[in-house]
Chains A and B, each alone.
Chain A
Amino acid sequence: MDFAFMAETFMKLIEGVPLTLNLAFASVALGALFAMLLALMRLSGVAALDWLARGYVFVFRGTPLLVQIFLIYYGLGQFRPSLQALGLWWFFREPYWCALLALTLNTAAYASEIIRGGLQSVPHGQIEAARACGMSRWLLFRRIVFPIAVRQALPAYGNEIILMVKATSLASIITMMEVTGIAHKLISQTFRAVEVFVCAGAIYLLLNFLVTRAVLALEWWLSPHLRGAPAPAPRLEAAHV
């Protein structure tokens, strides 16, 4: 192992971290909003909305992400004149927007199932109790259903976030220079696959370790009812006063 080379490689790979994080966080955040919508469509009780969401989830979970990225970035290029006429070409021309769109649509499909599981795990008694207090539908959702569902879904959602951090590496195939893109460039320049792999792998492991820590901290913060009561303040001993 050549440590000088590895240190240099590491510094070059670090330059890709902002883009990796940018893609991961933007797609997880936008995907969560879309997933919430899909989960509510599944649970709406309206057959048309339910089947639309089912079909969406089936298609996006049943095909590889790379195919989805290619379909959006290269495939839609076939309709360039129509897209230009619609004024959308600036979006589908940029690999960044295409990668972000594909990652968002993909994570929304997986996350909607996680959120649906969380929403369905809310105990019925809690909903009845809230209704009995006269809460409106929206207040009930905001105060009772949503917080409980989020807490239930969080561990599974943590796994999905890690999958997304890993999935951002596919953006390198459509020329985005995030960590894997830089790693690929370095490997093809130097042919030292093992050293570059170790450095890039260490960066992803560190990122994913931080994600798991953050999710655990959030879980702890959201479940005060599972923690022990705070230790009582030491009592003053009256006899000595």
Chain B
Amino acid sequence: MPYFELMGFGPNGWGRPMAMAAGMTLAVATCGFLVGSFIGALAAWAKLSQSIITRALADGYTTVLRGIPDLLVIYLFYFGGSAALGHIAVLFGGSGGFISVPAFATGAAAIGVVSGAYQAEVFRGAYTALSRGEIEAARSVGMHRFLMFRRIVAPQVLRYAIPGLGNVWQLALKESALISVTGLVELLRQSQIGAGSTRQPFAFYVTAAMLYLVITTVSTWGFQRAENHAMRGLRRA
């Protein structure tokens, strides 16, 4: 079958499943990235805290998660998650056999935990770029901690964090390809399925690569726009 018919949207075309799979890639990467933002913000806060124990915990988290392969983390969540669910099932009178965890949740959690470690460093760096004077000024007008965080700290930290977050988003997007090992039908898994049933692996993997390129290019452009927008009030060096 010629390439465009194979990847088209006709009756025998694989265009529709591939497009759906690209959507799934975006969905799992986005969910993972948002989970990672939450974890990363907490870890950054822990790294900046006065207590040695919370600092050591946060340092340990970022060092370990950035030092081991993502694939191992995915295996831990996938197999470890099913073992944990199995134990819980036994507690409630289950048989203790293999229970499969939802692949989407596993993927989002694994991407979240890994990208949280990178985002923690991004947020910490952005916080140190804040000018001390602004925080002192906020204190001196009597803002309490939460109001100061909401009005002064968070908006500026986000502004300085945008370029770093863009890099972490690219990492999350590429890590989402590894989620295919859990059987989640995202772009790479769908290509494997298509390659297996049509015996045209090259056509499918090239298409997957092109779709990834489109997604990364559009997101690079989007983060650049966001950065320009956030920095519009700042004088550039």
Bound together: yes
A binding-site residues for B, Cβ under 8 Å: 58-59, 62-68, 70-71, 74-79, 162, 166-170, 172-173, 180, 183-184, 187-188, 191-194, 197, 200-201, 204-205, 208-209
Q: Which of B50-97 contact A (CB under 8 A)?
A: 63-64, 67-73, 75-76, 78-80, 83
Known: A78-B201, A79-B202. A67 touches B209 (CB 8 A): yes
When the two chains form their complex, are residues A63 and B72 in contact, meaning their CB atoms are under 8 A apart?
Answer: no
B178 at the interface (CB under 8 A from A): yes
CA distance A8 to B209 in the complex (A): 40
B188 at the interface (CB under 8 A from A): yes
Known: A183-B72, A184-B75, A193-B75. A71 touches B64 (CB 8 A): no
B binding-site residues for A, Cβ under 8 Å: 63-64, 67-73, 75-76, 78-80, 83, 98, 173-178, 180-181, 188, 191-192, 195, 199-206, 208-209, 212-213, 216-217
**Cβ of A201 to closest chain B Cβ, rounded Å:** 4
**Which one of A167, A192, A204, A209 contacts B72 once the chains associate, using CB atoms below 8 Å?**
A204
Complex contacts, B176 vs chain A, CB 8 Å:
64
Closest 3 CB pairs of A and B: A169-B69, A193-B80, A64-B177
**Which one of A62, A78, A169, A197 contacts B213 once the chains associate, using CB atoms below 8 Å?**
A62
- Which residue from chain A places its CB closest to the CB of B177 in the assembled complex? A64
When the two chains form their complex, are residues A172 and B188 in contact, meaning their CB atoms are under 8 A apart?
Answer: no
When the two chains form their complex, are residues A169 and B209 in contact, meaning their CB atoms are under 8 A apart?
Answer: no
Known: A65-B174, A193-B76. A75 touches B202 (CB 8 A): yes
When the two chains form their complex, are residues A66 and B180 in contact, meaning their CB atoms are under 8 A apart?
Answer: yes
**Which one of A79, A194, A197, A204 contacts B67 once the chains associate, using CB atoms below 8 Å?**
A204
CA distance A193 to B216 in the complex (A): 33
Complex contacts, A173 vs chain B, CB 8 Å:
71, 181
Known: A66-B178, A71-B206. A208 touches B67 (CB 8 A): yes
When the two chains form their complex, are residues A194 and B80 in contact, meaning their CB atoms are under 8 A apart?
Answer: yes
* Apart from the given pairs A67-B212, A193-B79, A194-B83, 13 other A-B contacts in the complex at a CB distance below 8 Å: A63-B174, A63-B209, A64-B177, A66-B180, A70-B191, A70-B192, A71-B209, A78-B201, A166-B68, A197-B76, A204-B67, A205-B63, A205-B64
- Which residue from chain B places its CB closest to the CB of A59 in the assembled complex? B213
Complex contacts, B175 vs chain A, CB 8 Å:
64
**Cβ of B129 to closest chain A Cβ, rounded Å:** 20
- Could you count the A-B residue pairs with CB atoms below 8 Å apart for me: how many are there? 120
**Cβ of B100 to closest chain A Cβ, rounded Å:** 12
When the two chains form their complex, are residues B202 and A76 in contact, meaning their CB atoms are under 8 A apart?
Answer: yes
Complex contacts, B76 vs chain A, CB 8 Å:
193-194, 197
- Which residue from chain A places its CB closest to the CB of B175 in the assembled complex? A64
- Which residue from chain A places its CB closest to the CB of B199 in the assembled complex? A78
When the two chains form their complex, are residues A62 and B212 in contact, meaning their CB atoms are under 8 A apart?
Answer: yes
**Cβ of A161 to closest chain B Cβ, rounded Å:** 12
**Cβ of A1 to closest chain B Cβ, rounded Å:** 14
**Cβ of B182 to closest chain A Cβ, rounded Å:** 12
Complex contacts, A172 vs chain B, CB 8 Å:
71
Complex contacts, A64 vs chain B, CB 8 Å:
173-178, 188, 212
**Cβ of B3 to closest chain A Cβ, rounded Å:** 12
CA distance A194 to B188 in the complex (A): 27
**Cβ of B218 to closest chain A Cβ, rounded Å:** 11
Complex contacts, A194 vs chain B, CB 8 Å:
76, 80, 83
CA distance A205 to B69 in the complex (A): 10
When the two chains form their complex, are residues B202 and A201 in contact, meaning their CB atoms are under 8 A apart?
Answer: no
**Cβ of A191 to closest chain B Cβ, rounded Å:** 6
Complex contacts, A187 vs chain B, CB 8 Å:
75, 79
When the two chains form their complex, are residues A204 and B69 in contact, meaning their CB atoms are under 8 A apart?
Answer: yes
CA distance A166 to B174 in the complex (A): 14
- Which residue from chain A places its CB closest to the CB of B80 in the assembled complex? A193
A sample of 20 cross-chain residue pairs with beta-carbon separation below 8 angstroms, ordered by A number, consists of: A59-B209, A59-B213, A62-B212, A64-B188, A67-B209, A70-B201, A70-B205, A71-B202, A75-B204, A77-B202, A79-B202, A169-B72, A183-B75, A184-B75, A191-B79, A193-B76, A201-B72, A204-B68, A204-B72, A205-B67
When the two chains form their complex, are residues B188 and A180 in contact, meaning their CB atoms are under 8 A apart?
Answer: no
**Which one of B83, B199, B202 contacts A193 once the chains associate, using CB atoms below 8 Å?**
B83
